[in-house]
Structures are given as C-alpha cells and as structure tokens.
C-alpha cells in the first residue's frame, strides 16, 4: 500500500508541475528575472501550494502519526548558520542558471530534451561533491 501511495503521489506531483508549467525552464527563468521581463504567473502556482500547505498541515500535524508511517519527521533545528546560507545560495544560483530545481528537473525528463538530463547529471555531481566535502566541515 505504501508503494502505491508513493507512486500516486509522485504522479499527482508531476502532473501538477506539468499543468502549472513549473517544468518549463523558460517560464521559470522568466519568473526569476525580477529586473527584466518578469513573468509573475508561477507566483500563482506557488501561492496555491503554500495556501494548501498552510491549511492542511494544521489538520495533519494534529494526528499522532502519518497514515502510512510510524512518525512525522519534522526539522529539529531552527538555527541559521553559514552552511545553511551557503547551500541556499548555491541552490538559488543553480535554479537561476538552469531553470530547474530537483522535482521539475526530474519531471522534465518526460519532455525528451537534453536540458533536464544535463541538470540532473550536474545535480548528482554536486551532491557527490558535497558528500566528499562535508567530511571536512566540522559538525556542530
């Protein structure tokens, strides 16, 4: 049952990315171009997602555990440190250059173009680089 729910959730998420055009890198780059020809249309997709999350999380988190899991996994840290800021900056730079973040990048593989393939290869390379470099960063 867990795998079926994960599959259906992923399909619904991918369909939402397609319908909202969040996997269209040109639309995303237009949204991120605040100083140029800004395209505000993705703000409605993101705003809709935020509103649904704000409403549903109030009910979901009142439950003692998820429907298909043992417990909720919520962030325990609330500090802002240089590693978090650096990671956020790198994410933003990558999003601005590529026009993809991981979810839309994976969904865009269905378009049959090379941009998402190159993005995902770069994402994997960046993840492996972090894994190697993080061993040198002192733990807090």
pLDDT at residue 78 in the model: 87
CA distance 57 to 13: 17
pLDDT at residue 140 in the model: 61
Model confidence at 22: pLDDT above 80: yes
Residue 123: closest CA among 85, 86, 77, 90: 90
pLDDT at residue 119 in the model: 92
* Predicted TM-score (pTM) of this structure: 0.74
Q: By percentage, how much of the chain surpasses pLDDT 90?
A: 29
What rounded mean pLDDT belongs to the chain? 89
Asked if 91 contacts 85 with a C-beta cutoff of 8 angstroms, the reply is no
What 8-state DSSP symbol labels residue 45? H
pLDDT band at 23 (very low <50, low <70, confident <90, very high): confident
Which residue is associated with the tokens 């100083």? 35
The two three-digit tokens of residue 34, written as one number: 């605040």
pLDDT at residue 116 in the model: 92
pLDDT band at 133 (very low <50, low <70, confident <90, very high): confident
CA distance 118 to 78: 34
Q: Give tens-digit pLDDT for 56-100.
A: 999 998 998 888 878 888 888 889 988 889 989 999 998 888 889
């Amino acid at each position: 049952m867990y795998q079926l729910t994960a599959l259906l959730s992923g399909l619904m998420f991918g369909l939402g990315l397609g319908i909202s055009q969040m996997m269209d890198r040109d639309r995303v780059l237009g949204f991120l171009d605040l100083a140029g020809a800004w395209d505000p249309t993705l703000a409605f997709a993101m705003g809709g997602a935020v509103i649904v999350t704000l409403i549903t999380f109030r009910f979901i988190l009142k439950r003692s555990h998820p429907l298909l899991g043992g417990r909720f996994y919520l962030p325990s840290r609330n500090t802002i440190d240089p590693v978090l800021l650096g990671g956020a900056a790198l994410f933003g730079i990558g999003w601005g250059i590529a026009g993809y973040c991981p979810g839309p990048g994976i969904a865009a593989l269905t378009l049959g173009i090379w941009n998402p393939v190159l993005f995902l290869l770069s994402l994997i390379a960046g993840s492996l680089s972090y894994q190697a470099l993080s061993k040198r960063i002192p733990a807090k």
